[in-house]
Amino acid sequence: MNLDQLHGPVLSLFRIVTGLLFALHGVASMFGVLGGHRGSGHAAEFGVWPTWWAALIQLVCGGLVLAGLFTRVNATIASGSMAYAYFVVHQPMGLLPLRNGGELAAMYCWAFLLIAVLGPGSWASDSLRRRSRDSGPRAVRPEGRTNTAT
């Protein structure tokens, strides 16, 4: 088997798992379930910067990346939020992620950057929308040539 054939499905699985885990972090922080905010069992206080807003980004962007909907934009936002979390929250406590507790923020940052650059893979809502748009109805122009309708 040619491994290049697995590019789309494997990228899709990477996106799905990453989006699911990120969305679960958002659910835990926003609603105090699954261990809650930072394992405390409590929800982040509504509207408080940056914890509640980070949870909202995790939930919304994670869910949309999971679904493969507007993937590149949402992955870019998620990556940026994790870069912010790393440099503002973790990095001041020490240079290395193993020392400052920022491994997860760093990994999510790079994972979402990879998704933003490589795209959602073949199993994504974005891919379905693109295929349906590209194979949409064709209109006949007066000259007799066909053109894809917009």
Q: Mind listing the pLDDT tens digit of every residue in the chain (150 residues)? A: 788 889 899 999 999 999 999 999 999 999 988 876 666 778 888 999 989 999 999 999 999 999 999 999 999 999 999 999 999 999 999 989 999 999 999 999 999 999 999 999 988 988 777 777 777 665 444 555 555 544
The whole-model pTM stands at 0.81
Specify the pLDDT at position 138.
55
The domain total for the chain is 1
In a domain, 94, yes or no: yes
> Quick one: tokens of 92?
């001041």
21: containing domain: 12-148
In a domain, 3, yes or no: no
